[in-house]
Amino acid sequence: MSDYLVKALSFDKQVRAYAVNSTETVGEAQRRHQTWPTTSAALGRAMTAGAMMGAMLKGEEKLTVKVEGDGPIGAIIVDSDAKGHVRGYVSNPQVHFDLNEKGKLDVQRAVGTNGTVSVVKDIGLRENFSGQVPIVSGELGEDFTYYFAVSEQTPSSLGVGVLVNPDNTILAAGGFIIQLMPGTDEETISKIEESINKTPPVSKMIQDGLSPEEILYQLLGEDNVQVIEKMPVKFQCTCSKERFGRAIISLGESEIQEMITEDGKADTQCHFCNAEYHFTKEELKDILEEAKMA
């Protein structure tokens, strides 16, 4: 089944909820970047959270998430939009550790416990909205929950998980976000907290074949969930040779001339998807002419 996300309301619109199966999306990132299991879990959790956060946007709006901890994987960068497109990469993709004391992939050790989670939203205004919070655990679920509470003033519970096969491919990935609207009554809050504590990890639910809708039924009760939208989710990069050409123009005439004289070509690679773009000497000469006219 292809990845998809659902948006829902619950408890007489007191609660807003999202759930996603992101297995294929995270699997595509793993293949492109050849991530090792612990890194796959960290990048996959961040991409899953990013996909759900993107679903909160509208139209052509988009956002960038950056998790920058003091762990060995370095920075995690994720882009997403309101249409279910998400892409991501990590500075050091080949990092792996033994399982932690809970028998799970040690994402905290890979990410680190000191650093920041930042979110920049491009919502079509002159200036972007940006928010930043310190990393509170390095497990990422708790860190994004803290981001919503502090930066967006929205009490939330966010769960993300990734299971990795012995051959490094992705077995299961997914997540959920439960958000309380202003004025949510205490009884509803208690019910949700109790249910979340009883519910299996989201990656296990995905592995067991539960759909995003069924994950929300588990968390909120089937009678309480009103699905309002269902949207496909996939790894999609926005890079192109034309974009890289424009980036070369921005380097300036002298640097482009240097490429022509010294190398006679230019080789570029996209961080997000690892696609490679090659420019011949003749193409660089054309770009140089464009730079002169700019």
Domain locations in the chain as residue ranges = 4-235, 241-293
pTM of the model: 0.93
The architecture in CATH of the region 4-235 reads 3-Layer(bab) Sandwich (3.55)
For residue 263, what is the DSSP state? Answer: I
For residue 234, what is the DSSP state? Answer: E
pLDDT attached to residue 274: 94
For residue 256, what is the DSSP state? Answer: H
Residue 11: closest CA among 179, 210, 213, 201: 179
Q: What is the pLDDT of residues 30-75, one digit of tens each?
A: 999 999 999 999 999 999 999 999 999 999 999 999 999 999 999 9
pLDDT attached to residue 1: 62
User: What is the CATH number assigned to the segment(s) 241-293?
Assistant: 3.90.1280.10
pLDDT attached to residue 115: 98
Distance CA 111, CA 191 (A): 32
- Spell out a b/e string for 62-97, using b for 16 or more CB atoms within 10 Å of the CB, else e: bbbbbbbbebbbbebbbbbbbbbbbbbbbeebebbb
Q: Are 20 and 44 in contact (CB under 8 A)?
A: no
Q: What is the pLDDT of residues 194-231, one digit of tens each?
A: 999 999 999 999 999 999 999 999 999 999 999 999 99
> Which residues of the chain fall below pLDDT 70?
1
